Amino acid sequence: MDLNQAYNNVAAVGNFPQIMQRFRQCSAQTYANHAWQRDVSYGNARRERFDWYAQANAGAPTLLFIHGGYWQASDKDDYAFIAEGLIEAGFNVGLLEYTLAPEASMGTIVGQIGKALDYLLAHREALNIGQQVVLCGHSAGGHLTALYRRHPLVTLAMPISGLMELEPISRCWLNDKLQLSEEDIERYSPQRLIGDGAPLLVTVGGDELPELIRHSREYASACREAGHAVSLVELAGCHHFAVLDDLAKADGEHLRALLEHLKR
């Protein structure tokens, strides 16, 4: 298998620049449509910040989103559009940022997400965070989501197209900036860390690269075999970026499955 091709989501979709331009335009509109707190600091580093939208009613459910970009690209500001359907459905929404590789190591990136969650837990009352907190991330963000399903703030983990085993990542072009060591692979691969934690809603696009589908299927299977509550949703006709269009929809498969989980 050519791993460089197997993990090249940009090449797989063909029109990535247009997709990202649309994401940014829609995100700018989402920021304009709703009253957000922008760039709230959870630490001292430049990118240790998050954006926050709070519902007026106390105790609203919360979804915290971690963007993808293979740990080395993108910004939370590009993905605010995913909040539209969630806000309509009554969710608080947080968009978490983190330092990118090669400026940050995998250990630093993982630690920053933990720091963000600790901050949100400590400021729970001030931010109007209710009892139901969904940690959600796309691609690299799905990996980070899976690593933190044990965090005391998190009541449901929803990794979307997550990268659950880092060994193949270490053997392709992605490692030029990540510089993953054997210790990193062992310490930060969710597939190797199946333990206690929040229930899981694992999603992936049906038209994604086979390796991405494999990661989600094998992770969901391993968690299920370990006795954990896990649902796997494969979105027919969705490629790696179209899954986020579905997340943004008030009538999308993501929100439907999410609301079903929160009723349990």
Evaluate if residue 264 carries a pLDDT over 80: no
Which tens digits make up the pLDDT trace of 40-61? 999 999 999 999 999 999 889 9
Reduce the DSSP state of residue 121 to 3 states and report it: helix
Going along the chain from its start, the domains and CATH numbers come out as: 3-262 (3.40.50.1820)
- How far apart CA 42 and CA 182 sit, in angstroms, is 30
- How far apart CA 211 and CA 95 sit, in angstroms, is 27
**What b-and-e string marks burial along 185-212, b requiring 16 or more CB atoms within 10 Å of the CB?**
beebbbbebbeebbbbbbbbbebbbebb
Which tens digits make up the pLDDT trace of 203-217? 999 999 999 999 999
- How far apart CA 175 and CA 135 sit, in angstroms, is 26
Q: What is the CA radius of gyration of the chain?
A: 17
Strands 156-160 and 133-138: parallel
Nearest to 245 by CA among 164, 163, 161: 161
- When pLDDT is averaged across residues 61-76 and rounded to a whole number, the result is 98
Instruction: Determine the pLDDT at residue 194.
Output: 93
- When pLDDT is averaged across residues 245-264 and rounded to a whole number, the result is 94
Evaluate if residue 178 carries a pLDDT over 80: yes
Strand (E) or helix (H) holding 31 = helix 16-33
Instruction: Determine the pLDDT at residue 263.
Output: 85
- How far apart CA 20 and CA 40 sit, in angstroms, is 24
* 92 touches 62 (CB < 8 A): yes
* 190 touches 166 (CB < 8 A): no
Strands 156-160 and 92-96: unpaired
Token output for 168:
């193949």
State the Cα angle at 178 between 71 and 163, rounded to 5°: 50
Instruction: Determine the pLDDT at residue 98.
Output: 99
Token output for 211:
């390796």
Which tens digits make up the pLDDT trace of 71-121? 999 999 999 999 999 999 999 999 999 999 999 999 999 999 999 999 999
More reliable by pLDDT, 47 or 14: 47
Cβ contacts of 96 within 8 Å, gap of 6 or more: 50, 64, 65, 66, 67, 76, 113, 116
Reduce the DSSP state of residue 192 to 3 states and report it: helix
Instruction: Determine the pLDDT at residue 32.
Output: 98
